[in-house]
């Protein structure tokens, strides 16, 4: 007997990888390869926005004036008095830099150059705008201070930088004049030369070149940032994607072996014209391909079970309708027949008998006629494909879905089909839970077909939980329509 497994005992996939950590670098590479279009789109989009910005941004020019600021003090020796430069004071130049950028100095610049209106609100706006374009810094460890101003025109940039230097020097002169008012005449003349002294070392001139950051640098950085954002988006989507992409994910959720991957094959209408239904020429005519190897593995795994009294019938179902199980059921039966075994393919889809339609048996009598008693000879209903030799039992009169399909007459049907090594049923999907539960009374084992990227692990677990007899009799699964990315065939481990 097949080993019985209770659904609750089967493992459920909980992460992006079954045997690796969440941030496994191989998973990240696979996710990046699958989401390569996101990375490319992010880089291209941000690069295009950067190109637009570089093309439309206003030109900026920066002019600079350099001051030599010293701190002189009055020194007396006997009856003589002379000036000496004070020893280095690390706070002196910092104080002068703050003074240059102070409100009194800048207000004087605004008033002289008429940068704002007389009202207080506009004065505050002009002061903010002036500080936005102004940069004051010490040059190295020297006494030189650079006053830089950035503006939309070269002449205005030079004018403002020079005016800030002039206003600062005027303030120093004014401060010294106020400090010596109370001194004697002899001392007053000497104190006027003491304290901070500034000398223009280099006046600002209108710059020739723009000071905007280089456009190519901006575009390159924008492309890198966009690509990084696309990479993060690809990882996020991969993390949130709970659908099946690899065989180990499907095995982890279902709890049985996944026989392999079937790429997204197309119907071969040319073969159909030559006398073989397109449904049967999908995989069997391509020996050695991944899909052919998958069906061979499934056949090799199933046939030993079919040699025992406990398995004479096999049902092929899927998680959702339209996942390609009909094609796989037909080709699995054909593959078993080509291995020298007798296989009978039965269309048991009560709601959508696609198998009979695809094999052009829709107008023939079949399973429904036998179950309802209109035909008692099973052999008279079986149709043999002249090209492949596969025996098929069509569904019968399309549109009829008898509630007694899985009833007593089904047992008689299986008894009359005893000459076959295996009877393969094409069944409805798991969403037809009632039909699947009823079929489990007569079908010995099941194969589950899951389309890659369509159903999540949680949804599949819920569907299987609704049909415990089917879950307990699962012998394997197949991951269908899982195309490897052709651009990355040189990385087969990562791309599949």
Where is average pLDDT lowest: 82-86, 431-435, 448-452?
Answer: 82-86
Give percent above pLDDT 70 in the chain. 77
pLDDT at position 21: 47
Give, in order, the Cα–Cα distances in Å from 33 to each of 19, 453, 485: 20, 15, 8
Question: Would residue 149 count as lying in a domain?
Answer: yes
Any domain includes 48: yes
- Strand 343-347, strand 422-426: pairing: parallel
DSSP secondary structure string for all residues of 405-460 = TTSHHHHHHHHHTTTSSEEEEEPPPTT-HHHHHHHTTT--EEEEEEETTTSBHHHH
Q: Is 316 part of any domain?
A: yes
243 secondary structure, DSSP code:
B
* Shared domain check, 445 and 302: yes
Cα 288 to its chain centre, rounded Å, is 33
- Mean pLDDT for the stretch of residues 413-430: 92
Higher local confidence (pLDDT), 418 or 295: 418
* CA-based nearest residue to 474, from 245, 261, 317: 317
- pLDDT, tens digit, 9 for 90 and up, residues 169-206: 999 888 877 766 655 555 555 555 556 788 999 999 99
Question: 162 or 81: which carries more pLDDT confidence?
Answer: 162
Which span out of 29-38, 273-282, 383-392 was modeled with the highest average pLDDT?
383-392
pLDDT at 296: 83
Tell me what percent of the residues of the chain surpass a pLDDT of 90.
36
Q: What would the pLDDT profile of 3-15 be if each residue is shown by its tens digit? A: 444 444 444 333 4
Are 76 and 46 part of one and the same domain? no
Angle between helix 215-240 and helix 25-34 axes, rounded to 10 deg: 110
Quick check: is 348 in a domain?
Answer: yes
Query: How far is it, in rounded angstroms, from Cα 364 to Cα 416?
Result: 19
Q: Say which residue, 383 or 22, is predicted with more confidence.
A: 383
Strand ranges for 59-102 from DSSP E: 61-77, 80-85
Is residue 408 predicted with pLDDT exceeding 70?
yes
Residue 225 and residue 153 share a domain: no
**Does residue 311 form part of some domain?**
yes
Same domain, 231 and 314: no
Q: Cα separations (Å) of 54 from 41, 61, 212, 378? A: 20, 15, 9, 78
User: How far, in Å, CA of 439 to CA of 116, rounded?
Assistant: 88
Is 74 found in the same domain as 46? no
257-277 per-position pLDDT tens digit: 999 888 865 544 444 444 445
Whose structure tokens read 């014209």?
Answer: 273
- Say if residue 147 is in the same domain as residue 174: yes
**Average pLDDT of the residues in 110-120:** 79
In a shared domain, residues 344 and 229: no
Looking up tokens 């070149």 gives 209
Are residues 250 and 221 both part of a single domain?
A: no
What pLDDT shows up at residue 65? 95
The answer to which of 25-29, 214-218, 365-369 has the lowest mean pLDDT is 25-29
Is 198 in the same domain as 265?
no
Q: How confident is the model at residue 472 (pLDDT cuts 50, 70, 90)?
A: very high
pLDDT at residue 19, rounded to an integer: 44
Q: Which domain holds residue 171?
A: 61-202
* Whole-number pLDDT of residue 490: 37
Helix, strand or coil, per DSSP, at residue 240: helix
Phi and psi torsions of 76, nearest 5°: -110, 145
CATH code of the domain in which 121 resides: 3.30.70.1130
User: Is 23 within the bounds of a domain?
Assistant: no
Residue by residue, DSSP assigns 446-464 as: EEEEEETTTSBHHHHHHHH
Is 343 part of any domain? yes
CATH code assigned at 269: 3.40.50.300
C-beta pairs of 103-106 under 8 Å, 24+ apart in sequence: 103/127, 104/171, 105/164, 105/167, 105/168, 105/171, 106/130, 106/131, 106/134, 106/164, 106/167
**Dihedral angle at the C-alpha atoms of 420, 422, 424, 425, nearest 10 degrees?**
80
Residues 367, 253, single domain; the answer is yes
Please give the mean pLDDT across all residues of the chain.
80
- pLDDT of 465 higher than 50: yes
Number of domains the chain is built from? 3
Q: Is the pLDDT of residue 477 over 70?
A: yes
Residues 439, 338 share a domain: yes
Instruction: State whether 445 and 327 are in the same domain.
Output: yes
d(CA 407, CA 198): 108
Tell me, yes or no, whether 25 lies in a domain.
Answer: no
């Amino acid at each position: 007997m097949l080993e019985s497994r209770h659904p609750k005992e089967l493992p459920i996939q909980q992460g992006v990888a079954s045997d690796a950590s969440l941030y496994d670098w191989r998973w990240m590479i696979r996710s990046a390869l699958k989401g390569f279009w996101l990375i490319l789109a992010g880089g291209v989009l941000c690069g295009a926005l950067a190109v637009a910005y570089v093309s439309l941004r206003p030109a900026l020019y920066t002019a600079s004036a350099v001051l030599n600021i010293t701190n002189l003090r009055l020194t007396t020796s006997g009856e003589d008095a002379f000036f000496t430069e004070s020893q280095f004071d690390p706070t002196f130049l910092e104080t002068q830099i703050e003074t240059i950028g102070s409100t009194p100095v800048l207000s004087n610049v605004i008033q002289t150059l008429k940068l704002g209106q007389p009202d207080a609100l506009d004065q505050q706006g002009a002061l903010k705008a002036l500080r936005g374009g102004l940069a004051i810094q010490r040059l190295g460890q020297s006494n030189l201070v650079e006053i830089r101003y950035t503006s939309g025109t070269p002449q205005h940039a030079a004018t403002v930088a020079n005016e800030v230097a002039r206003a600062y020097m005027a303030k120093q002169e004014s401060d010294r004049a106020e400090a010596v008012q109370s001194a004697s005449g002899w001392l007053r003349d000497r104190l006027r030369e003491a304290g901070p002294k500034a000398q223009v070392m280099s006046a600002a001139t209108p710059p020739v070149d723009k000071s905007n950051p280089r456009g190519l640098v901006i575009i390159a950085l924008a492309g890198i940032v966009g690509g990084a954002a696309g990479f993060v988006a690809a990882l996020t989507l991969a993390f949130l994607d709970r659908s099946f992409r690899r065989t180990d994910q499907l095995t982890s959720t279902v709890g049985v072996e996944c026989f392999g991957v079937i790429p997204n094959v197309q119907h071969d209408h040319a073969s159909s014209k030559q006398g073989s239904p397109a449904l049967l020429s999908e995989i069997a005519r391509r020996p050695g391909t991944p899909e052919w190897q998958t069906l061979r593995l499934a056949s090799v795994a199933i046939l030993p079970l079919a040699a025992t009294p406990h398995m004479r019938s096999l049902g092929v179902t899927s998680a959702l309708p339209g996942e390609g199980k009909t094609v796989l059921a037909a080709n699995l039966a054909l593959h078993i027949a080509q291995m020298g075994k007798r296989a009978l393919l039965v269309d048991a889809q009560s709601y959508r008998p696609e198998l009979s339609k695809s094999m052009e048996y829709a107008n023939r009598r079949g399973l429904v006629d036998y179950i309802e008693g209109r035909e008692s000879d099973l052999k008279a209903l079986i149709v043999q494909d002249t090209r492949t030799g596969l025996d098929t039992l069509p569904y019968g009169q399309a549109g009829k879905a008898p509630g007694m399909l899985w009833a007593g007459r089904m047992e008689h049907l299986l008894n009359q089909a005893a000459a076959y090594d295996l009877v393969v049923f094409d069944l409805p999907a798991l969403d037809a839970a009632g039909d699947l539960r009823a079929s489990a009374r007569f079908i010995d084992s099941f194969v589950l077909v899951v389309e890659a990227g369509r159903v999540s692990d949680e949804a599949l677990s819920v569907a299987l939980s609704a049909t415990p007899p089917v879950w307990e009799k699962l012998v394997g699964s197949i991951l269908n329509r899982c195309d490897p990315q052709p651009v990355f065939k040189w990385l087969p481990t990562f791309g599949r």
